[in-house]
Structure 1
Amino acid sequence: AQRVPLSGLGPEEMVATEPALSAAVKNGLFAGGVWGKADESGDARVFTQRLVDTFAHARFVCHHNMPVTQIIRKDSKVRGVMSAERCFEADAVIVAAGVKSRDLLAPLGVKLPIYGVKGYSITVPLDKGAPAPEISLTDLKNRLVVSRLGARLRVAGFAEIGARPDIALARVAAMRARVGELFPDLPLPDNVSPWVGFRPMTPDGAPLIGPVPNVAGLYVNSGHGPLGWTFSHGAAQIVADLASGITPALDIEGLSVTRAMARMFSGRGAA
């Protein structure tokens, strides 16, 4: 892993680093900040689309709009997966289905401690020259992340446990209000494309990466919480190594499926 160097910034240094914060600093919203100069952000959707396009030019075949409904196991070994339309035979299966990973593995007697934590986002379209930030920002006090994605400004945050997949207008209003405070000169349209999704969280915050016990050839890569794309490259390398019979470069004991299941069941026993 590569560490990101951090620097403490005073109010004037914050404005020099990100001019879009000038009004917020002038209004006394920040006493200072922390800057990771090497930190980066991007559009995960665009990345995924281009990754699929790369597969199309290689020896991979992508099947779209075919949700997996069942993992096939026989004699303690994975044999493939079943969709609504057909069966896919396989020597190895990697379950990377976010919150749905729990439902796919439950019929096999594997109980993953993954829980959906609801998060919100709004998206503000940007005209050319709009006074929006270029640097990805984290508003710790309000638990919001602000990131520019080309001609759009994405604002995401909040964490609701056990919530339904509906959009609470109060949450959207709070995000709009904070954007207005941070960037008062930025026009905000009536429609900011509110969206909700469920982060696959584990009780201790660490993802579940590795083989599923008692089912040879079955692996899990899930539970990354709000850091799915951040962890994606490293997690994919670990799972690919395991499925190929290669010892990963990192010690993954703290990420194992068995460690998470053991904690879950020991916790129930203590209660």
Structure 2
Amino acid sequence: MQRRLRQDIHNLLNQPIKIDDMYCSSVGANMARIAGFGELVGYRDKATNVPSLAPKVLTRYGKTLFPESNIKEANALQCFRPLSPDDLPIVGAVRSVPGVFVHSGHGTLGWTLCLATSECLAAALTDEIIGIDTQKIFHLPGDVSVERARLSPDRFL
């Protein structure tokens, strides 16, 4: 039975899974990444004194998925992931400060969106270097396009 359970877990983690807004994916032979829990607690320096439920919840889900593992609450890592007020990444030039570009605000979708938004950032940097200021759209592979204004850091001004 144990061998069958381990094989099922291995097969399960070949593709990421989502359970109750928790996301689980394999990151190695004996390691899984369980993520998706969010808390609003403020800035890092203020959050050090705020008790968090995240490690307890992540550990509970890990033990549910992998009952034979030796998962410990102390091993749960907490991360601060900046999220923009409108839930869209902030990508591009900050017009009020020449030469400053931003690539942030992805929240929990950082791993999901970073490759596409990195393409957008590279296009913005390239346009700045060669002196183009008339581009209104980021063109991405696969005939995908994004209006630059939707991701612009200046949209909050």
Taking structure 2 as the reference length, the TM-score comes to 0.69
1:174-194: per-residue Cα shift (whole Å, max 9, x none)? 22222333343x322446622
Is the counterpart of residue 254 in structure 1 residue 121 in structure 2? no
Greater relative CO, 1 or 2 (CA 8 Å, sep 6+): 1
Is the counterpart of residue 177 in structure 1 residue 60 in structure 2? yes
Q: What is residue 197 of structure 1 aligned with on the other side?
A: 79
Unaligned runs of 5+ in 1: 1-18, 21-127, 263-271
Pick closer, same or farther for the CA change 1:144–1:166 going to 2, 3 Å: farther
1:148-177: per-residue Cα shift (whole Å, max 9, x none)? 111211212321112514684743232222
Higher helix share goes to which structure? 2
Tell me the SS of whatever aligns to 1:196: coil
Which of 223, 230, 242 is matched with 2:112 structurally?
Answer: 230
Pick closer, same or farther for the CA change 1:232–1:170 going to 2, 3 Å: closer
Q: 1:215 deviation in Å?
A: 2.5
How do 1:64-79 and structure 2 match up within 5 A? none
Tell me the SS of whatever aligns to 2:69: coil
Q: What is residue 73 of structure 1 aligned with on the other side?
A: none
Q: What is residue 142 of structure 2 aligned with on the other side?
A: none
Unaligned runs of 5+ in 2: 140-144
Larger radius of gyration: 1
Pick closer, same or farther for the CA change 1:150–1:218 going to 2, 3 Å: same
Pick closer, same or farther for the CA change 1:138–1:241 going to 2, 3 Å: same
Taking structure 1 as the reference length, the TM-score comes to 0.43
Higher strand share goes to which structure? 1
1:35-63: per-residue Cα shift (whole Å, max 9, x none)? xxxxxxxxxxxxxxxxxxxxxxxxxxxxx
Distance (Å, rounded) in 2 between the aligned partners of 1:169 and 1:205: 23
Across the two proteins, how many residue pairs are aligned to each other?
133
**Do the aligned partners of 2:89 and 2:106 also contact (CA within 8 Å) in 1?**
yes
RMSD: 2.8
Distance (Å, rounded) in 2 between the aligned partners of 1:212 and 1:188: 47
How do 1:124-163 and structure 2 match up within 5 A? 131-132=9-10, 133-134=12-13, 135-139=15-19, 141=20, 143-151=21-29, 152-163=31-42
